[in-house]
Structure 1
Amino acid sequence: MKTVLNVIWLVLSGFWLFLGYVLAGVLLCVTIIGIPFGIAAFRIGVYALWPFGQTTVKRPDAGAPSCIGNVLWLLLAGWWLALAHIVTGVALCLTIIGIPLGIANFKLIPVSLFPLGREIVPTDQPFTGR
């Protein structure tokens, strides 16, 4: 079932969201200071491309640098990417088939706003922490 949902997701919104994250990642990697943010954009872009069967968990070792980084991320790229998730989520919810995908899109909004300090893990593998 995860594969079917991922293929439908890929066609309807995943590819376009992935392109948005790649664009944000490339723009952020222009400066040396932005490289960690660009890497985070690429990491979450892959998650947005194929999300079913994966989830995000908060890293227990994330501290103040992740918090400060999330504030910078929010200002630089986070709110644009969250807006893309809102628009595609609403568009997907207009059809009955797209409602589960729209809900999944809404679940990606917190990750797009505050990605630092989170780790993407498979849902069938328990997170043990670091």
Structure 2
Amino acid sequence: MRTVLNIIWVVLGGWFTALGWLVAALFSVVLIVTIPAAPVCLRMASYSFWPFGRTVVDDPHASAVGSGLFNLVWVVFIGWWLALLHIFGALGQALSIVGLINAVAMLKMVPLAFMPYGKRIIDVDSPTGYEF
């Protein structure tokens, strides 16, 4: 079932949000201050392209102060427009009955667009919590 949901997700616009995260990775490399955001953007692009079957959890090894500072810089330069991308993507997917579940999943990514630091993406079926 997850594969079917992921295929519907990609067809109805998941590729567009993943592309937004890839553009954010490129943008973060261009600005010197946000270079540490590039790996985070690439992980989130992977999650945004194929989200079903994976989940986002807090990273227990992340520094609260460091994550907070990076998230602050992130919101100012990149996070706000990625959040808008997810909101408009959810609105577009909600227009069709098939896309309603995808719209809910898209809205779950909005807080992640604001604060991606200090998070990990794990496979929900993995007993070890395999990280992506």
TM-score, structure 1 normalization: 0.92
Instruction: Report the CA distance shift for 1:7/1:60 in structure 2 as closer, same or farther (over 3 A).
Output: same
Mapped partners of 1:110, 1:31: distance in 2: 23
Please tell me the residue identity of whatever aligns with 1:92: Q
Q: Distance in 1 between matches of 2:127 and 2:55?
A: 11
The offset of 1:31, in angstroms, is 3.8
Whole-Å separation in 1 of the counterparts to 2:127 and 2:94? 31
* Residue number in structure 2 paired with 1:7: 7
SS at match of 1:106: helix
Q: Which runs of 4+ in 1 moved over 4 A?
A: none
Contiguous gaps of at least 5 residues in structure 2: none
- Mark the runs of 5 or more structure 1 residues left unpaired by the alignment: none
| Matched residue, 1:19 | 19
> Aligned pair in 2 of structure 1 residues 127, 69: CA closer, same or farther (>3 Å)?
farther
Counterpart-to-counterpart distance in 2, 1:116 and 1:126: 23
Looking at structure 1, the residues matched to 111 and 127 of structure 2 have their Cα atoms a distance apart, in angstroms, of 21
Aligned AA (1:109): V
Deviations 1:58-112 (A, max 9, x none): 0122220001101111111111000000001011111111100000000111111
Q: Which residue of 2 aligns with 1:58?
A: 58
Determine the C-alpha separation between the residues in 2 that align with 1:52 and 1:8.
11
Q: What is the match of residue 118 of structure 1?
A: 119
Q: Which moved more, 1:30-39 or 1:41-50?
A: 30-39
Q: CA deviation at 1:126?
A: 4.6
Paired residue secondary structure (2:70): helix
CA distance in 1 between partners of 2:23 and 2:87 (Å):
18
CA distance in 1, matches of 2:127, 2:89: 30
Letter in 1 for 2:53: G
* Corresponding residue number in structure 2 for 1:35: 35
Residue 86 of structure 2 contacts residue 107 of structure 2 at CA under 8 Å; is this kept in 1? yes
TM-score by length of 2: 0.91
Work out the percentage of aligned pairs sharing the same amino acid.
Answer: 38
